[in-house]
């Protein structure tokens, strides 16, 4: 009996994305272990001029959206001649947290609104609110390099050991009470992170490397709790970089109007004392004062004159 065998043709199908990823992962396991180089930057803000590549000229000329950002940053830097510009380091901020931070800053600025002296009869000019801007570090660094009023060494000292996202807060005027209110708002809205103990770190490592409670089942998705971080790096004011310690000292000063009144009082103090002395020596007191001065001069002349 002759048995006829037939050959079935199976159409070739493309591998799915999951199968392709599985194949690629299996092939990657066969490769030798190579070091994994991170592509993240180790700095927050670079003001060092870049290396001139072929066809590249300095200063750089941006176009399109980058040109708009560069010009916007230059306007902010120019405004620091009369108003402080705060450099902030922020990390793990959600959109809701960032919105709340802006609202809290505006509320604190309105509570400590500085008084603006306007000419007699002229309406009082409204004071603009503080502006919080999340910057693009590469373009802002180029703007700082082209800003002649800032010493780049001070910027390097300010951002030493910091890597991550930056933001700048533009205050309308230099008003120490308002600056103090804003700094206190930072501490209330974004409290400082507490350092983890060795036991907590060891517990996190154990939980990360532990086997799942139910093997083979999909792990339930747990909502991640975001703990934002905010830190003041320094203040740019009139071409000078003030580090956090000096920023706190600046916030403890009185208002500018109070400082002017104290300076006027200090300068007018000698004239006031002279006027008080002359007023007390008026009338008979003036005659007795002059008579005493005359007697003193005569006694001095008698001791000095030869026998």
pLDDT score at 103: 93
Give burial (CB, 10 Å; 0-12/13-18/19+) of 186.
buried
Tens digits of per-residue pLDDT, 76-114? 999 888 889 999 998 888 888 889 999 999 998 888 776
Helix (H, G, I), strand (E, B) or coil at 42: coil
Tens digits of per-residue pLDDT, 258-286? 877 778 877 777 767 666 666 665 555 66
pLDDT score at 124: 61
The terminus-to-terminus CA distance of the chain in angstroms comes to: 171
Helix/strand/coil percent split, the chain, to 5: 45, 10, 45
155-160-162 Cα angle (round to 5) = 110
What gap in Å lies between CA 111 and CA 113, rounded to an integer? 6
Tens digits of per-residue pLDDT, 213-228? 777 777 777 777 778 8
- For 186, the token pair is 């930072």
User: Over pLDDT 90: what percentage of the chain?
Assistant: 14
Ordered structural domains, the chain, with CATH: 65-113+127-192+225-253 (3.30.70.1730), 254-292 (no CATH)
For the residues 40-49, what does the mean pLDDT come to? Answer: 60
| pLDDT above 60 (res 168) | yes
What gap in Å lies between CA 109 and CA 175, rounded to an integer? 10
pTM score, whole prediction? 0.65
- CA nearest 129: which of 113, 153, 149? 113
pLDDT score at 25: 42
Handedness of CA 91, 97, 100, 102 (dihedral sign): positive
pLDDT score at 3: 37
What gap in Å lies between CA 294 and CA 278, rounded to an integer? 17
Report whether 130 contacts 170 (CB < 8 A): yes
13-34: burial string, b at 16+ Cβ within 10 Å, e else: eeeeeeeeeeeeeeeeeeeeee
Which of 5-9, 205-209, 283-287, 290-294 is modeled with the greatest confidence? 205-209
What gap in Å lies between CA 147 and CA 126, rounded to an integer? 29
pLDDT score at 86: 93
pLDDT score at 56: 64
What gap in Å lies between CA 132 and CA 165, rounded to an integer? 13
Report whether 163 contacts 237 (CB < 8 A): no
pLDDT score at 286: 63
More confident residue, 195 or 167: 167
Relative orientation angle of helices 137-145 and 65-78, to the nearest 10 degrees: 50
């Amino acid at each position: 009996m002759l048995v006829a065998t037939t050959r079935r043709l199976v159409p070739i199908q493309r591998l799915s994305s999951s199968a392709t990823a599985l194949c690629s992962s299996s092939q990657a396991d066969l490769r030798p272990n190579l070091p994994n180089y991170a592509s993240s930057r180790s700095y927050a803000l670079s003001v060092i001029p870049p290396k001139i590549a072929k066809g590249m000229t300095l200063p750089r000329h941006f176009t399109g959206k980058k040109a708009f950002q560069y010009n916007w940053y230059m306007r902010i830097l120019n405004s620091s001649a009369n108003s402080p510009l705060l450099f902030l380091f922020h990390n793990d901020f959600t959109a809701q947290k960032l919105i709340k931070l802006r609202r809290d800053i505006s509320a604190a600025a309105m509570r400590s609104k500085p008084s603006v002296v306007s000419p007699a009869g002229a309406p009082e000019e409204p004071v603009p609110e503080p502006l919080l801007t999340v910057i693009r570090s590469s373009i802002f660094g180029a703007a700082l390099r082209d800003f002649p009023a800032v010493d780049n060494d001070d910027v390097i000292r300010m951002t030493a050991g910091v890597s991550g996202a930056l933001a700048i807060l533009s205050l309308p005027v230099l008003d120490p009470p308002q600056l103090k209110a804003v700094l206190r708002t930072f501490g209330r809205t974004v409290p400082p992170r507490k350092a983890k103990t060795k036991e907590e770190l060891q517990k996190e490592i154990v939980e990360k490397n532990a086997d799942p409670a139910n093997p083979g089942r999909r792990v339930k998705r747990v909502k991640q709790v975001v703990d934002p971080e905010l830190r003041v790096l320094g203040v740019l004011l009139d071409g000078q970089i003030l580090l956090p310690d000096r920023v706190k000292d600046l916030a403890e000063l009185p208002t500018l109007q109070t400082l002017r009144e104290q300076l006027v009082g200090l300068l007018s103090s000698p004239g006031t004392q002279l006027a008080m002395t002359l007023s007390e020596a008026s009338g008979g007191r003036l005659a007795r004062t002059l008579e005493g001065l005359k007697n003193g001069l005569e006694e001095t002349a008698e001791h000095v004159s030869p026998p």
